[in-house]
Structure 1
C-alpha cells in the first residue's frame, strides 16, 4: 500500500540535486516528473562515488545495466563489484505491484525493491532525476554526488501510458526515433505507437511487395504552407524514405531494453492511397491515384476483395515477425465510402454477407482482419470509427473524436485508450503567440493537458476499469524535421506522463510548473527542443457589478509582470502588474515577464480591448459550444476581444459541431444601436464552414421585433467571413441572432458525410 506523503503535504519535501555537499543543508524543491505517489524525507545523505558497489542479479539486468551505464557514461565515477560499505542494491519484493517500486536512500546504501525489472527500471528513472542534469550530457566533473536520504513508494495509476508518432507524412531517421524513445523512458511511459503507413508514404519494408518501398514510400512533391491556403502550392521535390526490416528490429530492441512496447500501425481500409499507388489492383477502380502530396482524407481506400485481404495478411505476417507486441493497430479511421458505394464487387459482398450498408461492410473488413490477427495470437487496436457498423469482437478502441467512442466501447465491455483531440493532439497550437510555427490548427495549452481526466464522465466504476490509459498523438503534416517534433511534443508529453502515472490527489499544476522549470534544464542537456511557454502571459477579461476588469497571469508566478497602455514596449520602468486592471474605454495593453536580473524572459503579450455596447452584458446560447472549442464560454462572444485572424482554436472563437445556434444578447436597458457585426471562420479543409443562413433580429424591452434581417456574409480575408447589419439609431434592448449550421459536408470534400463545424467570433454592438 502506498503511504500518504505527510511531509509533502506540509510543503517541506527536499531533494538534494545538482551535486550537493555535506554542508548543503538548504532545502531544494522536488524535481521529479512524474510526481511519485509517496515520499518521506529523512536525515542524512548517501554518497555515490567510485567506492560505491552495485549489487544486482540477472533478474534486474536491464535496469541495473541502465543505471551503471548512466552513471559511468555521465561522469568519471566507476561503480565497482567489490564489497563496500557504500552500495546500491536491487532486491526482489513480491508484494510490490508489477510496475511499482520502492526506493530507499540512506546514509550507507540505496535499495531499489521491485517485483519486476520493469518496476526497478522506473526506480532508476527516478534516481536518475535526483542526479545532476550534467549527467545527461556526460559533462559532470565531480567525483562524487550526495543524495538526500529519503524513501519513495511509487506505482502508476494506468497500465497504458503512450506516445504516438506519425512518420507517414514526414519521415524521421532511426537516430531520432531512438531519441524519442529515450524521452518516453525518462517519463516512465511504456508504449510507443508507431504510425507507419499513410496516403503520403509507406514507411516499412515488406519483402514480398517491393513496390511498397520503390513506389509507395515516395511522393513527387509536398504541399507548401497550410492545407487551407488556396490555391495549393508545392515544393516540386521528391520526398520519402522507409525503414528496413533490420532497422525496425533495431528500434524494437532498443525500446525493449527500456521496457517500452512498440505498437505498429498499418492503416486499413482508409489512409491507404500510397499502397494503392504501388498496387492499383487493391483499389476499387483499378486506377493509380498516385502517392498523395498534400494532407487530408482521400477516397481511394482498400477494396474489400480477396486479393486485398491476401495482400494485407501477407503484410501482417511480416509485421508480426518484427513486432512482438500483443497489439497491432489497424487504423480504421477516416475511410470514405464513395468508392465502395460505386463498386459492383463491394455491393455484391454487402448482399452476400447480409450487410445493411457500407458502414457494416467496414465492420466486416475490420472483423475479418481481427480474426486473422487473433489466429496469430495478437489483438487489434483501432480508432473509434471501428465502432461504426458494429465493433469487432475483441477490439480495443482508441477514442480520438471526443469521449463518446470511449464510453460506447467501455459500456460494451471493450478496452479503451483515450486520445481525444481536446487533450491529446499535440499537433495543435500550444500558444496564442503569433510567432508560433505553423500547425494544423486548434489550441491545446500545457495546463489543459495537465488537467485531463482519462476516465470519461458517464462510466460506472466497473466500466471505468476498461479504460487502459491514454496517449499523446503527433501527426506530422506540419512537422518537417525532428526539432519541430520535439517542440510540439514537449513539454505537453511531460504533463501527460504525470496525468497517467500520478494519482489525482498527488497532482497540482502550480507544483508541476515549478518542477518543470527544473526539468527543462535536464531537457537542455539532452538537446531537446522544448517549447518553453512557462513565462508567457495570458489575459482574461471579467465582468461584475463593479465593472469590467482585465487580469494578467503567467504560468510561473515567481517573476513580475510589467505592462504599458500607450503602445510602447514594456520594461522595468513600466507599470508593475499587481492587480486586475479596470477597463472603461478601449485599451491596448502590452506586457512581459522579467527575471530577478531585469532580463525579459517572456515574449511580449499584446491585447486590444474594444469596449462596445454589449461588453459585459448578458448572453444566452441555445446550445453549448463543443468542449474542445469552448473558448471563453458564451461571455467570450461579448468581451471586447477579437479572436485570432489566423486560428480558430484560441480562447475567443467558439466552435459548434453540427448544431444550429441561437444567440440572445440582453443589453440590460433600452439602448440606441446602429450596427451589429461578427465574423465566422471558413476553412473547409478542416471541416469548418461559414453558415449560409443567418437571421438577425432587434427587439424592444417587451421582446417585440423592431427589425429582422436575413443577413449575408462578406469576404473577410483568408478563412474569414464577415457579417454586418446596420439598423440606424434603433432603441432596443435585445439582439437575437439565429445561425443555421452548414449541415453535412458534401461528397468530395474533406470530412464528407460528417457534420460541419461552425466557428463564431466577437459580436460587436455599436
Structure 2
C-alpha cells in the first residue's frame, strides 16, 4: 500500500480547500420555470442561476411606512424560524446592490393593487408592487420559491437558495375567498387565525365568517346579550359551543387585515335563526322561545317578519357588526327560509337591505335574496340555483360564484371520505379544479362575476385537523381559479405542481387529503 507523506497531505489540502470554498459559494444552476408555484403566475422567466439567503442578508424597504414595515416584519418572521437568521430591516430609497428589496413603484399599472414583480439575480431579490398589498402577495410566491423546509418552526441546516429570473403576476378576480362556518361547530380565534394564514399563503383575500345559525350564535352583541349567553352555549351534537367577544372579533379582523384579508361577517336571517329565537322569545310570532337546537336539519326556523321588534333587533345587530367591521360588506344570509312565506320574505329582505345600507355597508346574500328588490350595490352569492344568479344580474347585482356542486369544501371527496357530506356532489381534487367561473353558465359572464368563494360548513367537523382535511388540497385549486387566468390552467400540469407541494404541506403540519388523483412527491 502506498503511504502519503505529510508534505503530500499539505499539498492536497492547499489544492482542495479553494475548490471546497468555491463550490460552497457558487450558486447551483436552477430553473425558475420548474418551481411549483400555486396559484400559477402570469409570466415566469428563468435565468438559470440562484440567489442565496444568508445570515448577512438585509431586508430593504424603498419606503418606510406602517404597511411596508409590517410586510417586511412578516417576511422576516416567516424566514427566521427555519433559517435562524435575524434579519435587519433598513430603508433604502435607491436599489441596493445586495439583499432583499421591497419596493413600491407606479411603473406598471397592470399590476393593480395586488400584483407584483419579482426579479431575482445572484446578488439581489427585488420584489416590487404598486401597493403594500402587492408586496404581501409577492412574499407568498417568494416562500414557495424556497425549499419546503422554510416552513419549519426550528432551524434547518441547509442552504436557502432561490432560482433566478423574473415573475410578473396579478389576480384575475378581485374576490378570492373562503367561508368558515363557526356556528354548527364553534372554532377558537386561534383556529380562525390559522385558517387565515392558510388561505393567505395561496393569495386569497376574503374570509366570510358564518357567525349565527340554528345551532349557535357566535358574536357578542352588547345590546342583546342573551344571544351569546344562551344562544352561544351549544353546537351540533350538544357540545359546549362558544362565542367571540367583540374584542376577540376585533383581534381576528386585525390579524386578517395584516394579511390583506377582508373579514365578511354573516348573520343568517330570517331562517337559520333558532339560536336567536331561543334567546329572545319576542322574536317569535308565538312569543314563546323554542329549545336550543343541536341537530343538522335546515329550514324550520324564521324570525317573525310582522313584528317591529324584529327590525329593531336586526338594526342593533347590524349596527354593532358594522362598527366592528372595517370592510364594506355585511352578509345577511337569506337562504333556506322554507317556513317564511314569500309574501313575508320579500318585504323582510327589502327592509334588511335598507338597514345594511343605512350603516354604510353593502349587503351580500345567498342567491334566494334575488326574490327581493335588490340595490345595484348588493352582491348575490350563487350557491344553489343558477337561475337566481341570472335574476341577480338582471337586477344589476354582481355575483360571487360558490356553486355547491363545485365549490363546497364540506362535500366529501368520494364515498370513502371520513368527513363531509354528499348532498350536492362528491368533489374530488380534479373536479374542484377543472371548472371556470365565467363558463359554468352561459348567462353568468365574466363581467357579472366578482370572484370565487369556497364555503366550509361545519356539520361534520370539530377540530382544526378536520378543517384542514376538507380544505386541502382543494382550497389551493380554488385559489388558483380565482387568481390565475383560465388560459394558464390545465389539470395535467396543475396536478404535478400540486404533487410537489406535499412536503411543504407536511412541514406546515397541514392534515391534507392525499388524493389518488395526484402523484404526490414524497421528498
State the TM bucket, normalised to the shorter chain.
0.7 to 0.9
Query: In structure 2, do the counterparts of structure 1 residues 71 and 457 end up closer, same or farther at CA, with 3 Å as the change threshold?
Result: same
Counterpart contact for 1:134–1:140, Cα < 8 Å: no
**Which shows bigger deviation, 25-34 or 511-520?**
25-34
Partner residue in 2 for 1:430: 413
Higher helix share: 2
Which one of the candidate residues 414, 432, 441 is aligned to 1:457? Answer: 441
Q: Counterparts of 1:342-353 in structure 2 under 5 Å?
A: none
Cα distance in 1 for residues equivalent to 2:417 and 2:452? 30
Partner residue in 2 for 1:385: 368
Cα distance in 2 for residues equivalent to 1:408 and 1:528? 40
Query: SS of 2:388's equivalent?
Result: helix
Partner residue in 2 for 1:445: 428
**C-alpha deviation, 1:464, in angstroms:** 2.9
Cα-to-partner distance string for 1:678-726 (whole Å, 9 max, x where unaligned): xxxxxxxxxxxxxxxxxxxxxxxxxxxxxxxxxxxxxxxxxxxxxxxxx
Counterpart contact for 1:196–1:264, Cα < 8 Å: yes
Q: Counterparts of 1:609-648 in structure 2 under 5 Å?
A: none
1:532 corresponds to 2:507? no
Query: SS of 2:393's equivalent?
Result: helix
**C-alpha deviation, 1:288, in angstroms:** 1.5
Query: SS of 2:103's equivalent?
Result: strand
Cα distance in 2 for residues equivalent to 1:275 and 1:209? 10
Cα-to-partner distance string for 1:188-219 (whole Å, 9 max, x where unaligned): 00000000000000011111212112211123
Partner residue in 1 for 2:201: 186
**C-alpha deviation, 1:79, in angstroms:** 2.3
**C-alpha deviation, 1:389, in angstroms:** 4.4
Counterpart contact for 2:49–2:164, Cα < 8 Å: yes
Cα distance in 1 for residues equivalent to 2:510 and 2:460? 19
Partner residue in 2 for 1:412: 395
Cα distance in 2 for residues equivalent to 1:80 and 1:31? 29
Structure with higher Rg: it is 1
Which one of the candidate residues 53, 62, 66 is aligned to 2:74? Answer: 66
Query: SS of 2:456's equivalent?
Result: coil
Structure 2, gaps ≥5 residues long: 1-23
1:522 corresponds to 2:509? no
**C-alpha deviation, 1:177, in angstroms:** 0.6
Cα distance in 2 for residues equivalent to 1:417 and 1:380? 12
Partner residue in 1 for 2:52: 47
Query: SS of 2:405's equivalent?
Result: helix
Query: In structure 2, do the counterparts of structure 1 residues 393 and 310 end up closer, same or farther at CA, with 3 Å as the change threshold?
Result: farther
Cα-to-partner distance string for 1:375-426 (whole Å, 9 max, x where unaligned): 2211000000101244355321000004322222123321110100121111
Query: In structure 2, do the counterparts of structure 1 residues 510 and 415 end up closer, same or farther at CA, with 3 Å as the change threshold?
Result: same
1:77 corresponds to 2:85? yes
Counterpart contact for 2:28–2:50, Cα < 8 Å: no
Query: SS of 2:384's equivalent?
Result: coil
1:124 corresponds to 2:139? yes
1:107 corresponds to 2:109? no
Cα-to-partner distance string for 1:64-86 (whole Å, 9 max, x where unaligned): 22112211233222223578742
1:265 corresponds to 2:266? yes
Cα-to-partner distance string for 1:97-149 (whole Å, 9 max, x where unaligned): 22111110012211111111111111111001112222212234347522211
Partner residue in 2 for 1:297: 298
Query: SS of 1:319's equivalent?
Result: helix
Cα distance in 1 for residues equivalent to 2:81 and 2:312? 49
* TM-score normalised per structure 1: 0.61
Cα distance in 2 for residues equivalent to 1:467 and 1:23? 45
Partner residue in 1 for 2:101: 89
Partner residue in 1 for 2:461: 479
Query: SS of 2:161's equivalent?
Result: strand
Cα-to-partner distance string for 1:603-645 (whole Å, 9 max, x where unaligned): xxxxxxxxxxxxxxxxxxxxxxxxxxxxxxxxxxxxxxxxxxx
**C-alpha deviation, 1:26, in angstroms:** 6.4
Partner residue in 1 for 2:349: 366
Cα distance in 1 for residues equivalent to 2:394 and 2:494? 34
Cα distance in 2 for residues equivalent to 1:50 and 1:62? 21
Partner residue in 1 for 2:156: 141
Counterpart contact for 1:217–1:240, Cα < 8 Å: yes
Counterpart contact for 1:21–1:145, Cα < 8 Å: no
**C-alpha deviation, 1:256, in angstroms:** 0.4
Partner residue in 2 for 1:253: 254
Q: Which has the higher contact order (CA 8 A, sep 6+)?
A: 2
Partner residue in 2 for 1:662: none
Counterpart contact for 2:350–2:372, Cα < 8 Å: no
Cα distance in 1 for residues equivalent to 2:190 and 2:394? 42
Query: In structure 2, do the counterparts of structure 1 residues 389 and 77 end up closer, same or farther at CA, with 3 Å as the change threshold?
Result: closer
Partner residue in 2 for 1:497: 479
Query: SS of 1:465's equivalent?
Result: helix
1:38 corresponds to 2:43? yes
Structure 1, gaps ≥5 residues long: 1-19, 224-236, 341-357, 537-553, 560-594, 597-766
Counterpart contact for 1:440–1:478, Cα < 8 Å: no
Counterpart contact for 2:376–2:395, Cα < 8 Å: no
Query: In structure 2, do the counterparts of structure 1 residues 104 and 311 end up closer, same or farther at CA, with 3 Å as the change threshold?
Result: same
Query: SS of 1:311's equivalent?
Result: helix
Query: SS of 1:240's equivalent?
Result: coil
The two structures, once aligned, show a CA RMSD in angstroms of 2.2
Counterpart contact for 1:155–1:501, Cα < 8 Å: yes
Cα distance in 2 for residues equivalent to 1:262 and 1:145? 34
Counterpart contact for 1:51–1:86, Cα < 8 Å: no
**C-alpha deviation, 1:222, in angstroms:** 4.4
Cα distance in 1 for residues equivalent to 2:363 and 2:119? 40
Query: In structure 2, do the counterparts of structure 1 residues 47 and 506 end up closer, same or farther at CA, with 3 Å as the change threshold?
Result: same
Query: In structure 2, do the counterparts of structure 1 residues 406 and 298 end up closer, same or farther at CA, with 3 Å as the change threshold?
Result: closer
Counterpart contact for 2:31–2:48, Cα < 8 Å: no
Partner residue in 2 for 1:159: 174
Counterpart contact for 1:270–1:302, Cα < 8 Å: yes
Counterpart contact for 2:437–2:446, Cα < 8 Å: no
Cα distance in 1 for residues equivalent to 2:463 and 2:288? 33
Cα-to-partner distance string for 1:567-600 (whole Å, 9 max, x where unaligned): xxxxxxxxxxxxxxxxxxxxxxxxxxxx99xxxx
Cα distance in 1 for residues equivalent to 2:112 and 2:381? 26
Q: Counterparts of 1:477-626 in structure 2 under 5 Å?
A: 477-533=459-515, 536=516, 554-556=517-519
Partner residue in 1 for 2:192: 177
Partner residue in 2 for 1:205: 220
Partner residue in 2 for 1:354: none
Cα distance in 2 for residues equivalent to 1:477 and 1:327? 25
Cα distance in 2 for residues equivalent to 1:174 and 1:106? 40
**C-alpha deviation, 1:297, in angstroms:** 1.6
